[in-house]
Chain A
Amino acid sequence: GAVVSQHPSWVICKSGTSVKIECRSLDFQATTMFWYRQFPKQSLMLMATSNEGSKATYEQGVEKDKFLINHASLTLSTLTVTSAHPEDSSFYICSARDAGSAYNEQFFGPGTRLTVL
């Protein structure tokens, strides 16, 4: 089946630093990837849609200058949390839509747990 990886799986950083999270589709091409964040005991909230070869589109209330997204190829999207602060600590999950899928099925990565001290 389709596999999506994320790296790193967890990261701890100091306040004010930037953190990059990678999302890769391993065995399929993903023209579109999505980034979600999940706070403890809460649901997933869509942050942005990452499109290969074009700018990401952000959901309302998500700061695009803080959460930089780059979709460099059909198998890789990166999320950079710039100048991270403790309130950015969360579980970040990416998903990738199989370009060959007829019904927008998404495959989710294992998630990255970010802790900002």
Chain B
Amino acid sequence: DTEVTQTPKHLVMGMTNKKSLKCEQHMGHRAMYWYKQKAKKPPELMFVYSYEKLSINESVPSRFSPECPNSSLLNLHLHALQPEDSALYLCASSQVLRPPGELFFGEGSRLTVL
């Protein structure tokens, strides 16, 4: 299995809602990432987890809260988001950590904040 699976594919939420994005991989990769991608822009790194521990937080606002329950799962909890947070959220994993090596991306969760 060489896939990274993300759910949901689409999410619409109001600014007062709480929701979560989920990501799963079964490739045995010990590094997992959250990226944010706006239209016509490159992926922008948000968080890096290595061996289930948060290694990098790219100064992301606290309304985004990552969680890595185990080596296969990565969540992104969303609360009190702003309309400008609307974007495609990509999860990725890599076998090699430093440097990351090939990133395996999921199909993404397209988030719309009303």
User: Is B a genuine binding partner of A?
Assistant: no
Which chain A residues have a beta carbon within 8 Å of chain B's beta carbons? none
